[in-house]
Amino acid sequence: MLAIQDLYAPDYSHCWGCGAAHPYGLHLKSYLSEDLTYCYCHHTPAALYTGGVPDNLYGGFIAMLFDCHGTAAAAALYLVALGEPLTAEHLQRFITAHLEVDYLAPTPMGVELEVRAYPEEVTDRKVILTLELLTGERITARGKMVAVKHRRPTPSA
For 41-94, write each residue's pLDDT tens digit: 999 999 999 988 889 999 999 999 999 999 999 999 999 999 999 999 999 999
**Is residue 84 included in any domain, yes or no?**
yes
Position 155 pLDDT exceeds 60:
no
Question: What global pTM score does this model have?
Answer: 0.93
CATH number at residue 144: 3.10.129.10
- pLDDT-derived band at 22 (thresholds 50, 70, 90) equals confident
Give the pLDDT score at 40: 98
Mean pLDDT to the nearest integer, 33-38: 97
Can you give the length of the chain in residues?
A: 157
Domain that holds residue 96: 33-149
Interior/surface letters 20-53, b for 16+ CB within 10 angstroms, e for the rest: beeeebbbbbbbbeeeeebbbbebebeeeebbee
**Is residue 69 included in any domain, yes or no?**
yes
Domain count, the chain: 1
Mean pLDDT to the nearest integer, 127-148: 98
**Is residue 97 included in any domain, yes or no?**
yes
